[in-house]
Structure 1
């Protein structure tokens, strides 16, 4: 842990953390000087980063709505939740189906501090927060909190939004999660790529990695490989602005995003 780091109940304030960088760029209040410095540095490398982060959030909302409305999913497992930014996933899906049950997973102490915002479920449904490492999918799936919230014998939607770029062996992570899911379950993800704006995003990833947050950029083919064995939902792996955009939304150029989005079904 870097010098000047351990403070505020074990939170490392001296080193940037992806959840707090994300919060700062989205206009939140849960961040420290190291996070702001990192965010400013990343944005100087690729000035459209704040735009892309907002599009990522909107993509999560569309995915949640599609999973609840079109796929009929009533159980959700959100991996790498981050600092709560309303509307959160449970607010999206319980607005459609109040009986929906949502389990949030993260292992950042600051997310834990704010977890009460994730627990405001409808009376008909349920939400829970699990303080766990997503790189241990078996531990996540076997946790008492998750098992008290979700019935893994029935379909579950696993959402992994803007997280896999921080996981080197993302394939093993997804295999570990999907192996325990019932047929008819889904995986929804967004993850970073340099395919669209290679020079700027590659430089941004290099700077993030230098600050102690390794960032793994993936091609479209690599993202498709992560979902091998699952049934891709149309339109497949696409720049996230192109994943089922709202009919009345203004068209967003691909160069405004640095992530692919995809939803796939467990068969």
Structure 2
């Protein structure tokens, strides 16, 4: 872990320090401000913004944590590593870019991407997929498309209750109802098509779904979806190589801020001959 710290960019180190502050974590010299008071008696806490401190100061603070504490920050490193790899490899081989990789790049370059795809991936119940070796990671043309259904829970949060995943040949790879594990306030049946009865006796958990998707997304597989960031938040997953169809298609003569609906895309592409008005099943937009 220490080698990762030594080679990390300043912005990554600053993000980790801010995360430590947010979680009120303390190393052998106390919290961030405790450390500054003892380490830099001249400036002390008058300059407490981590982004304005030197790499040496950030590193020295982080090295006061135990190995077990530092393991918690590993997800932050993994997220940055995945995105850096996508960005660098895209720039290194623009002439040999595949059609699939071009769509990944268009998603990555969309102005909303840094906002929509900024996830709290460091949290314990989140899964950050790991990239494979460089050559496989960027050259893979394997794709998996997903669609999720979420319900509104009594605590005001949303919970995943159904997921469907298909490969590029439209073969169903995953189609499961998911136990929300908390009381539901609104099943949104008119949108999701799901009722309380559909979830009776369902044992599949969010963790089970994460495990299944982790296997499907190995070796550089591209994840596809419409407004995919919403599905990833429900899944509590962070995957670097994505295609968001709400980003890569746009209305002619309109700004990138106006995104086409999935219904309109399906009509244009003739994927659906008739759009139902009562509800849509998760598998419908995919197949």
Q: What TM-score, normalized to structure 1?
A: 0.26
**Structure with bigger gyration radius:** 2
